[in-house]
DNA sequence: ACAACATATAAAGATATTATGATATATAAA
DNA sequence: TTTATATATCATAATATCTTTATATGTTGT
């Protein structure tokens, strides 16, 4: 088993994997899907309505999110239900929102001076 | 001041800002820069050596990271020193690495069955 | 087996991102 | 003021991503 040393520089391969992981949240449609699934498990049709994108698009982005490890799926009858695979994803989104909010605040302050 | 309700769906504009924010970490060079700066403040030339990319590339990616709110800079003589603007960035990277590590473990398990 | 619905996949063009090389700007030293 | 060094910016070619449309796959009910 390979250990995970946060402070050590990563190998090129590891770095690319991490970059790919963040790529998962770098698209508005995928971000909305993740947000929707943080509230509750949903099937594809429900997601199509929730995020306002085409079925094809949602399916594609779900494949991407699945590959990145954000979501998992299970079949229930003719539906396929997706859910967030790891609760830590919620924390990541929360931190990001806080940072963005504070950053926007700083920018607002600066323009006043 | 606008409140930050994590569970409520975001407006399209907010969603795009968050997606842009994660875009910051979705590129290997930018990811390496952030990792390097989490260890210590560095100038551009030091970053060029640390991440193994061209000066032009590093400057460009720094501009992107600055825009996203990951880094800030200050001038010291003829050098410009960059540092991580928010310690919460460290937590985000740590969580991401943990999720990726666990996910890789799951994939490894599945291929054995 | 057939029809209807749910989801996934594939191909195409449109758009965005990245890497590269050249050049501009700014600071420091001579 | 000239030269050297550090950083930023710009143009563009190469590459990757996204959107759209069409089609394939799989499930349920008749």
What letter would DSSP give residue A72? E
**A31 in contact with B at a CB cutoff of 8 Å?**
yes
Residue B35 covered by a domain: yes
Compute the average pLDDT of residues B55-77.
97
pLDDT at B19: 97
On chain A, the residues whose CB falls within 8 A of the CB of B39 are 7
Decide: B52 and B12 in contact? Cβ < 8 Å.
no
Any domain includes B106: no
Query: CA–CA separation, B24 vs B40, rounded Å?
Result: 19
Q: Which helix (H) or strand (E) holds A15?
A: helix A12-23
Position B55 in a domain: yes
**Which pLDDT does position B10 carry in this prediction?**
66
B63 interfacial to chain A (CB closer than 8 Å): no
- Structural domain includes residue A98: no
CA of A48 to C1' of D23 (A): 19
- Does A23 score more than 70 pLDDT? yes
Å from A97 (CA) to D28 (C1')?
42
Structure tokens of A36? 């929707």
Asked if A63 has any chain B CB less than 8 Å from its own CB, the reply is no
**DSSP tag of B92:** H
Q: Is residue A37 part of a domain?
A: yes
Which positions in chain A touch B65 (Cβ < 8 Å)?
Answer: none
- Report if residue A74 sits inside a domain: yes
Name the average pLDDT for chain B. 89
Judge whether B74 and B37 are in contact, CB under 8 Å: no
Per the structure, the count of domains in chain B is 1
Give B6→chain A minimum CA distance, Å: 7
* Residue B92 scores a pLDDT above 80: yes
Q: Does residue B73 reach within 7 angstroms of strand C, measured from its CB?
A: no
Whether B110 maps to a domain, the answer reads no
Predicted TM-score (pTM) of this structure: 0.89
pLDDT tens digits for range A72-99: 999 999 999 999 999 999 999 999 999 9
Section A15-21 average pLDDT = 96
As a whole number of angstroms, the distance between CA A26 and CA B25 comes to: 9
Q: Which domain holds residue B60?
A: 11-85
| pLDDT band of A11, cuts 50, 70, 90 | confident
Q: What is the CATH number of the domain that holds B30?
A: 1.10.10.10
User: For an interface test with A, which of B37, B97, B108, B109 has the most A Cβ atoms less than 10 Å from its Cβ?
Assistant: B97
Question: Nearest C-alpha of chain A: how many angstroms from B28?
Answer: 5
Domain presence at residue B27:
yes
% of chain B at pLDDT higher than 90:
78
């Amino acid at each position: 088993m390979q250990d995970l040393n946060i402070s050590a520089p990563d190998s090129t391969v590891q770095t690319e994997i991490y970059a790919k992981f963040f790529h998962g949240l770098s698209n508005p449609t995928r971000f909305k899907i993740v947000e929707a699934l943080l509230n509750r498990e949903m099937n594809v049709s429900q997601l199509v309505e929730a995020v306002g994108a085409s079925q094809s698009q949602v399916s594609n982005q779900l494949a991407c999110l699945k590959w990145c490890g954000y979501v998992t799926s299970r079949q229930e009858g003719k539906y396929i239900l997706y859910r967030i695979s790891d609760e830590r994803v919620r924390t990541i989104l929360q931190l990001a929102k806080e940072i963005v909010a504070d950053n926007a605040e700083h920018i607002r302050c600066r323009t006043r001076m």
